[in-house]
């Protein structure tokens, strides 16, 4: 039997104001993201590595540090541990990919939306809406359908076809919008009163970050409760990076890990790099990136509401922000597929490209134990066609096969 949630309240990330956890919230009264807080003192010494023995794999094994109080409200699609895959040709075993593409709906969005939608069900929500660049919409539709909740999804009009079609097939009502994801977000916000839906956009409700933080829990457990030296993370809205940084503090507070922290490295595309620009300028907030452009759609986020939380985590960890060019992203994807047999999504290839650039520039050492997050299944994205044809009626030139 998994112990129930130890959630106590919600807390504003700018003012520290406490808000009741058992009611529906979007942003705090100050207009900032809310964090869920837990009775960590009660878990200290009681929650040990042995506590997880016999529990099902997947992120719900960490129920004490997740917000859902009644297990009957959990909307599950058979979540699993995502594997750690060493890259033999890069770093000689020190570089490992955590492949989030193995989760339901083929991306790490299953974590955040699985928890957020379960909480929405617990709090009586019947209709939700979300802006998305693709994978979040698919996860929203799937988990909302599972929970018996109506879902409305708004995405830029150049969102990958696979994402749009899987979202609709899984029960989501999908609209393509001639704008960016933040433009879609404005539509979702405007429709809150008119349509009566609950807005589950990134960090505009408290619980997606709680699902994403399970990447930190799971990573720590897989590494024997020892954190790596560095984490390269593809950063759009940055929920996962923020969530992992929160997770590490919670794990230390309950006694599962010590004070060591990895350097957190935010990876963006050169065509949409507001966090990189703000980090380099020493700013606490990131200005909107105009005319954002990258084929790695998941990190094409011109403005992130959690920008200050991302930048804070980078600086507190001694990490940095780095941008990579389109050619570097797709060269890295081809290299890892061809050399390692691991098919990354473009957003997951971006951190590989960033690692190689950081290695060349002396920002990371070859001996540093490094985790790279592949956030989605590479099969969901267009791939170049390198196949050749063979005429079965003509003589075969076997030398041409060499």
pLDDT tens-place string over residues 236-249: 999 999 999 999 99
Is pLDDT at 74 greater than 60 in this prediction?
yes
Identify whether 243 is part of a domain: yes
274 vs 272: CA distance, rounded Å: 6
Last residue of a domain, one of 49, 73, 97: 73
The mean per-residue pLDDT over the stretch 261-287 comes to 98
Instruction: Identify the CA nearest to 321 among candidates 339, 290, 299.
Output: 299
Looking at the fold, whether 356 and 213 belong to one and the same domain comes out as yes
Looking at the fold, whether 295 and 355 belong to one and the same domain comes out as yes
List 150's β-bridge partners, or say none: 127
Classify the C-alpha dihedral 281-286-287-288 as positive or negative. Answer: positive
The mean per-residue pLDDT over the stretch 279-303 comes to 96
Identify whether 144 is part of a domain: yes
* CB under 8 A, 24+ apart: contacts of 185-192: 185/131, 187/131, 187/154, 188/129, 188/130, 188/131, 188/152, 188/154, 191/129, 191/152, 192/129
Percentage of residues in the chain having pLDDT higher than 70:
99
Is pLDDT at 215 greater than 70 in this prediction?
yes
Last residue of a domain, one of 143, 177, 199: 199
Looking at the fold, whether 102 and 113 belong to one and the same domain comes out as no
Looking at the fold, whether 225 and 175 belong to one and the same domain comes out as no
The pair phi, psi for residue 211, each rounded to 5°, is -70, -40
Identify whether 390 is part of a domain: no
Q: Give the model's pLDDT for residue 203.
A: 95
| pLDDT tens digits, 149-176 | 999 999 999 999 999 999 999 999 999 9
Looking at the fold, whether 279 and 291 belong to one and the same domain comes out as yes
Last residue of a domain, one of 179, 199, 219: 199
Looking at the fold, whether 374 and 239 belong to one and the same domain comes out as yes
Q: Which pTM was predicted?
A: 0.94
Distances (CA, A) of 350 to 231, 267, 358: 13, 7, 12
Is pLDDT at 91 greater than 90 in this prediction?
no
The mean per-residue pLDDT over the stretch 354-360 comes to 97
- Our count of domains for the chain comes to 3
The mean per-residue pLDDT over the stretch 176-186 comes to 95
Tokens of 127: 């209709």
Identify whether 385 is part of a domain: no
Q: Give the model's pLDDT for residue 3.
A: 59
Q: Give the model's pLDDT for residue 2.
A: 46
Q: pLDDT band for 93, please (50, 70, 90 cuts).
A: confident
Identify whether 129 is part of a domain: yes
CB 96 within 8 A of CB 85: yes
Looking at the fold, whether 301 and 339 belong to one and the same domain comes out as yes
The mean per-residue pLDDT over the stretch 170-197 comes to 96
Identify whether 397 is part of a domain: no
Looking at the fold, whether 251 and 357 belong to one and the same domain comes out as yes
Looking at the fold, whether 93 and 48 belong to one and the same domain comes out as no
For the beta sheet containing 84-86, the strands, ordered from the edge strand earlier in sequence to the opposite edge, are 84-86, 95-99, 370-374, 230-234, 263-269, 320-324
C-alpha angle with apex 142: 159 to 245, nearest 5 degrees? 80
Looking at the fold, whether 256 and 360 belong to one and the same domain comes out as yes
Is pLDDT at 225 greater than 60 in this prediction?
yes
Question: In whole numbers, what is the pLDDT of the chain averaged over residues?
Answer: 96
Identify whether 364 is part of a domain: yes
The CATH code of the domain that includes 338 is: 3.40.50.1100
Range of the domain at 117: 109-199
Looking at the fold, whether 128 and 238 belong to one and the same domain comes out as no
Torsion (CA) 229, 234, 240, 246 in degrees, nearest 10: 40
Looking at the fold, whether 13 and 133 belong to one and the same domain comes out as no
Q: Give the model's pLDDT for residue 139.
A: 97
Identify whether 400 is part of a domain: no
């Amino acid at each position: 039997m998994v112990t129930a949630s130890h959630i106590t309240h919600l807390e504003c990330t700018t003012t520290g104001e406490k808000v009741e956890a058992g009611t529906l919230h979007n942003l705090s009264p100050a207009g900032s993201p809310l964090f869920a807080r837990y009775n960590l003192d009660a878990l200290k010494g009681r929650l040990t590595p042995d506590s997880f023995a016999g529990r099902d794999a997947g992120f719900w094994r960490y129920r004490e540090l997740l917000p859902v109080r009644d297990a009957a409200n959990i909307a599950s699609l058979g979540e699993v541990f995502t594997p750690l895959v060493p890259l033999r040709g890069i770093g000689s075993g020190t570089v490992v990919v955590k492949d989030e593409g193995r989760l339901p709906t083929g991306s790490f969005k299953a974590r955040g939306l699985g928890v957020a939608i379960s909480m929405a069900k617990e709090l009586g929500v019947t209709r939700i809406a979300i802006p998305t660049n693709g994978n979040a919409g698919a996860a929203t539709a799937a988990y909302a359908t599972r929970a018996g909740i109506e879902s409305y999804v708004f995405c830029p009009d150049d969102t990958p076809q696979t994402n749009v079609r899987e979202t609709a097939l899984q029960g989501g009502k999908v609209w393509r919008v001639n704008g960016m994801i933040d433009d879609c977000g404005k539509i979702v916000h405007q429709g809150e009163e008119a349509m009566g839906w609950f807005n589950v956009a990134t960090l505009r409700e408290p619980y997606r970050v709680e699902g994403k933080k399970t990447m930190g829990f799971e990573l720590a457990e897989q590494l024997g409760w020892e954190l790596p030296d560095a984490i390269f993370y593809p950063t759009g809205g940055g929920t996962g990076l923020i969530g992992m940084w929160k997770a590490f503090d919670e794990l230390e507070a309950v006694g599962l890990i010590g004070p060591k922290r990895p350097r957190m490295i935010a990876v963006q595309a050169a065509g949409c790099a507001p966090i990189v620009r703000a980090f380099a300028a020493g700013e606490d907030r990131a200005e909107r990136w105009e005319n954002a452009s990258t084929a790695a759609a998941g990190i094409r986020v011109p403005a992130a509401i959690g920008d200050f939380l991302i930048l804070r985590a980078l600086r507190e960890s001694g990490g940095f922000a780095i941008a990579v060019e389109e050619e570097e992203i797709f060269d890295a994807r081809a290299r890892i597929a061809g050399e390692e047999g691991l098919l990354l999504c473009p957003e997951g290839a971006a951190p590989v490209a960033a690692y190689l650039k950081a290695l060349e520039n002396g920002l990371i050492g070859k001996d540093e134990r490094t985790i790279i997050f592949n956030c989605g299944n590479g099969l969901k994205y267009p791939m170049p066609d390198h196949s050749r044809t063979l005429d079965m009626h003509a003589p075969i030139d076997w030398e041409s096969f060499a």
